[in-house]
Amino acid sequence: MPIPSRRSRDYPRTSAHHLAWPRALGLITSEAAEQRHRQADYADLAARFYPSATGPDADLGVDLMTFFFLFDDLFDGPRGEDPKAARALTDAVAAALDGPLPADTPVIAHGFSDVWRRTRQGMSPAWCARAARTWRGYLASYVDEAASRHRHAPCASMAEYLAMRRHTIGAQPTVDLAERVGHYEVHQGLFDSAVIAAMLRIAIDTNLIDNDIASLEKEEARGEQNNIVLVLQREKGWSAPRCITHLQEEVRTRLEQFLMLENCLPKVYDSYGLSAAERTTADAYLNDGLRALIRGAYDWHRRSGRYSPEYAIPAGHLGYLEELGA
């Protein structure tokens, strides 16, 4: 991994206090749920994704990670195989992007509403509109995934799988938040740059490949077919070890490309006429957004309890999850 490891100096505080937000909202209501949450250590992930963030900004990063994984777990059961049920929940969550939610909305949607409210603070209407489009794509992808399972038609190729998984991995909303917690906005024109687009795609792909390898055993155990290792096995007829070796090489190649593209950035900045301040902002996005996404996921996957053999949903815990999405 050619990118240095970083973690927010505020991690000890966020690690000690990060359960207060999900408890207060009713997102975590049992001892088993608390233990599961601590074992996964989402505060560590947020501290690596947002290594320069402290105080309320670091808290927002942790709460976003909390939402992501509690929401994702809601699709491990029957809802994850029922497109109508999946859409009912994703629509309830997406409604927070348009305004206040009714009191009877699922708890998880109220959790997202709170994150979205704080995410918008201090950001321009144009940035909020861009971030909202990202969120809608993320939520819609869960319906697509449920439809795939419902049809018993898992992705047949790596290209097909990547097109869907790039949304469900949640990497784009994660990178968007780097701007919010860093209190800056990237020059909008840069997102039209082929160089920036390629670097963002590489960051997302390395994140999702690493995540799928880390979660392979857990997903196989519950019968999941849409995992990049399993998709590659079906497509190529290879063994799982060969698939993993191939994917590791894919990541290495992508990271080499990423570093080469970094060298092009000064010319990209010139082509868009960026001021000195805008160049500083773009560099912050590179270091605390894209680079942090790549290295942060790599480090967290290797130490989080979420991917250990013992990490299983305890008896009765699925019922708790259903309450969140009721």
By annotation, the residues acting in catalysis are 68-69, 72, 76, 149, 165, 211, 215, 218-219, 222, 300-301
DSSP class of residue 145? H
140, 90 Cβ separation under 8 angstroms: yes
* Helices and strands in the chain, H and E counts: 18, 0
Q: 124 vs 59, 132, 226, CA distance in Å?
A: 21, 12, 37
**Rounded CA separation 65/45 (Å):** 8
Burial status of residue 33 (CB atoms within 10 A of its CB: 0-12, 13-18, 19 or more): buried
